[in-house]
Amino acid sequence: MEKSHLDSLPKKPLRPTKIALTVIMLVGLVVSTIATGADFGMFFANFGEFTVLFKEMAHPDWSYAYYVVDPLIETIKMAVLGTVIGSAVAFPFALLISRNIVKNKFVTGIFRFILNIVRTIPDLLLGAIFVAIVGIGPVAGIISLAVFTFGMVGKLFYEAIETIDEGPIEALTAAGANKFQIIQFAVFPQIQTYFISYTMYAFEINVRASTVLGYIGAGGIGMFLQRSLSLYRYDQTGLIVLVIFVVVLLIDHISNISREALIK
């Protein structure tokens, strides 16, 4: 048999640093398992209960589909509004922290610090906070998704702005253009594709996040999911999970097609 091209390549010796990192990771895994009290044996011992629950979910209550439509639409509306509001606020904010737009490092540093604080807050915590402030319902979910989108998309936006070609900016600056004209004619045309792509990506994530937020009272189909689980109606839970799965797949597919069309 002839040797392949890969077989003829010289084999690199395993470096001591790689061995050390592997050992550290394995030790960390063992220590984490002991510290958290993770009992994998108990998981496999109770696996039979999972199969029973799964069998009940595998026979969804189709008569419950009528009651799922409205909360599902509400979930999608929450994701749309949260994405639009968060992205609309994130774009001008991203301009303020882009060092090729705002040259004052003190100003960009302050706004970046604010953005980093927002990004460290999980969406579930945001949901819990706004449910406590405005009460149970979709308004809390919309505000939570808007803040979450602002933190995530704001970082993507300013990174995209800082990688643009600065030639048009320098040309317009030399011609005496103001900041608004520079953003309008030199910055936005270069990042508009990224702007739309990142916004659609955020929408995909927010559809999933809005389902979880509803579970803690922030509106949408997640509230019905929590209700069916608390009543042990796993046939209704199975229907809700199936509907969410189909909707998320459709939205992901449409979003991917749209992004590919934009890139081309």
CATH number for position 100: 1.10.3720.10
pLDDT at 81 over 80: yes
| Residue pLDDT, tens place only, 171-227 | 888 888 887 888 888 888 888 888 888 888 888 888 888 888 877 877 788 888 888
Residue 110 lies in a domain: yes
Average pLDDT over the chain, rounded to whole? 82
Helices vs strands, H then E, count in the chain: 13, 0
Whole domain around residue 215: which residue ranges? Answer: 60-263
**Mean pLDDT over residues 118-126, rounded?**
86
CA distance 133 to 123: 15
pLDDT at 68 over 80: yes
**Mean pLDDT over residues 1-19, rounded?**
60
pLDDT bracket for residue 87 (50, 70, 90): very high
The larger pLDDT score, comparing residue 4 to residue 174, is at 174
Residue 236 lies in a domain: yes
Residue 112 lies in a domain: yes
CA distance 77 to 236: 22
Residue 188 lies in a domain: yes
Query: Torsion-angle region of residue 14: left (phi > 0), alpha (psi -120 to 50) or beta?
Result: beta
Q: What pLDDT, on the 0 to 100 scale, is given for residue 82?
A: 92
Q: Which of 85-89, 206-210, 260-264 has the lowest mean pLDDT?
A: 260-264
Residue 106 lies in a domain: yes
Residue 233 lies in a domain: yes
Residue 123 lies in a domain: yes
| Residue pLDDT, tens place only, 29-67 | 888 878 877 776 776 776 667 777 777 777 888 888 888
Structural domain count, the chain? 1
Q: How far is CA 26 from CA 29, 37, 187, in A?
A: 5, 17, 47
Residue 79 lies in a domain: yes
**Mean pLDDT over residues 10-27, rounded?**
76
